[in-house]
Amino acid sequence: MAEITKTIAYLQQKKIIRVECHRKNFRTGLSIPIYSLVSEHSSLNTTHRDIDRLDLDELLAGVLSERVVEYGFLARNLLPSRSNMKILDVGSEQSALTKALSKCGKNKNWDVFGIDVARGLPQAFKEEKDESRHLFIRMDARFMGFRDEVFDKIICISTVEHIGIQSSHYIVGEYDVLGDVKALSEIFRILKKSGRVVLTIPYIDRSIRGNHKEHRIYNSYTLSKLISRFRVKRKEFYIYIEGKWKSCKLKNIVNKLQLIGNSEIPSYLHSRVCLCLLLEK
């Protein structure tokens, strides 16, 4: 399966195939891309509508991790979008997501910022390719150097669980048990009134023990502490089972996890359960 995914990603990058349409799998609830060969003149058919839409097909080419459901949730919850928005991607490194967001808002004059503490990231790195505007900054999410209430939307995809935890990949000093809480407090501070946050985290029910030395796994108690200052506008759970991500109700998670037992999950996943949240200030 991994080899097939890599091949599809390669063919997309070379613009040999493209996504023609999507078909919903009613058993899993996920949308499946249907591919076709790229015609010689297909690039001439790009419309403003294509630019204004987050390019999930390109973002997810070759991806098997939680991003499969996280990016879909993000795309559905970018709306309502308007002109001249300021968007922050927390934990971006120099990711394709920040660039895709900038491209998506090209006709609406969005300013997109990406921050991270990854080693090797320059202090500030600006790109204005094809008139899209995005800026990468090396910055600790616990101590952000932005003024109050400056961002319309803030995105935090599979990031907050790492904040304050030591790792060879990130510039982190001593372990900070409240690193994630501090980051959400900063996000609240720099978010405009009625601004929205797309937050995704690994999740597990309190009745089932689970942890990982390189990231936190949240439960109902730790989650309530983390997002106590926000209003929850939308909440979606996804569980990785039988080699697929499936939408799942909270009440069914425990039973499904108990049925799976102690079977190992792929190393590229943070947890069997991914929680996607839309929060509002």
pLDDT in tens, 169-225: 556 667 888 999 999 999 999 999 999 999 999 998 654 455 556 789 999 999 999
- 33 with 148, same domain: the answer is no
- 186 with 86, same domain: the answer is yes
Q: What is the mean pLDDT of residues 134-146?
A: 89
Nearest in space to 272 (alpha carbons), one of 97, 252, 105: 252
- 274 with 227, same domain: the answer is yes
- 149 with 276, same domain: the answer is yes
pTM for this structure? 0.77
Nearest in space to 69 (alpha carbons), one of 27, 28, 11, 110: 28
> Is 19 within 8 Å of 57 (Cβ atoms)?
yes
Residue 40 has pLDDT above 50, yes or no: no
CATH classification of the domain holding 167 = 3.40.50.150
- 67 with 25, same domain: the answer is no
Q: What is the mean pLDDT of residues 50-72?
A: 78
- 268 with 129, same domain: the answer is yes
Question: What are 235's strand-pairing partners?
Answer: 277
- 76 with 145, same domain: the answer is yes
Average pLDDT, the chain: 80
With pLDDT > 70 as the criterion, what percentage of the chain qualifies? 69
- 158 with 134, same domain: the answer is yes
Pick left, alpha or beta for residue 189 (phi over 0 → left; psi -120 to 50 → alpha; otherwise beta): alpha
Q: What is the mean pLDDT of residues 27-36?
A: 65
Structural domain span for residue 25: 1-45
Q: Which two tokens stand for residue 158?
A: 């599979």
Chain length of the chain = 281
Query: Which of 19-23, 64-68, 174-178, 238-242 bottoms out in mean pLDDT, i.e. has the lowest?
Result: 19-23
- pLDDT confidence of 51, banded at 50, 70, 90? very low
Helix (H) or strand (E) holding 277: strand 273-280
- 135 with 16, same domain: the answer is no
Per-residue pLDDT tens for 261-271? 666 777 788 88
Cα 221–chain centre separation: 22
Number of domains in the chain: 2
Give 215's DSSP letter.
B
- 96 with 221, same domain: the answer is yes
- 67 with 150, same domain: the answer is yes
| Residue where a domain terminates, one of 26, 45, 64 | 45
- 88 with 176, same domain: the answer is yes
- pLDDT confidence of 257, banded at 50, 70, 90? confident
